[in-house]
Amino acid sequence: MNSKIIEGKAFSCFLHQPDIKSNPQWSLRLVPSEIEQQRFKKSGYKMNMEFIDNSEYGMSVLLRRKVKHMDDVLEKPLLFDIKKQPLELFDELPDGSNVMVKYSEWEGVSKLDNMLHKGLDLIAVILLDKAPKLF
């Protein structure tokens, strides 16, 4: 599994606590450079338009890591500040935060529908902005 690193702006982050609405997962939507947006789109990844102040900002791709059970914090993506020191969040990152993300691509054939599925596994995040205030 080859990991890759990409920079962009993060939206809809679930790095403090996992998203438990349907399948529990740690995730963020990343708006990379326009060249990377086209690469993801051409590779068949679902892209969504993200907005800042009701203006279109760019197309995002979902990076996620599934939560197999709620007690296992080892599956949580690693989070660092700009100095590459471990960062603990007390809330989610605000939309539009500048981040560098380490991820890996995966694909597999589903046993249920015999279709090829692919996705992006979120490994680690570096917050490139000043760390959010604790209080």
Specify the CATH class of 3-127 in words: mainly beta
CA angle 72, 78, 82 (to 5 degrees): 155
DSSP line for 39-71: HHHHTT--EEEEEETTEEEEEEEEEEEE-S-TT
pLDDT at 31 over 80: yes
Q: Band of the pLDDT at 135, cuts 50, 70, 90?
A: very low
129 within 8 A of 95, measured Cβ to Cβ: no
By three-state DSSP, how is residue 114 classified? coil
| High-pLDDT (> 70) share of the chain, % | 91
Predicted confidence (pLDDT) per residue in 54-110, tens digit:
889 999 999 999 887 666 655 789 999 999 999 988 889 999 999 999 999 998 888
At residue 27, the pLDDT reads: 93
pTM for the structure as a whole: 0.86
Domain ranges within the chain, ordered by starting residue: 3-127
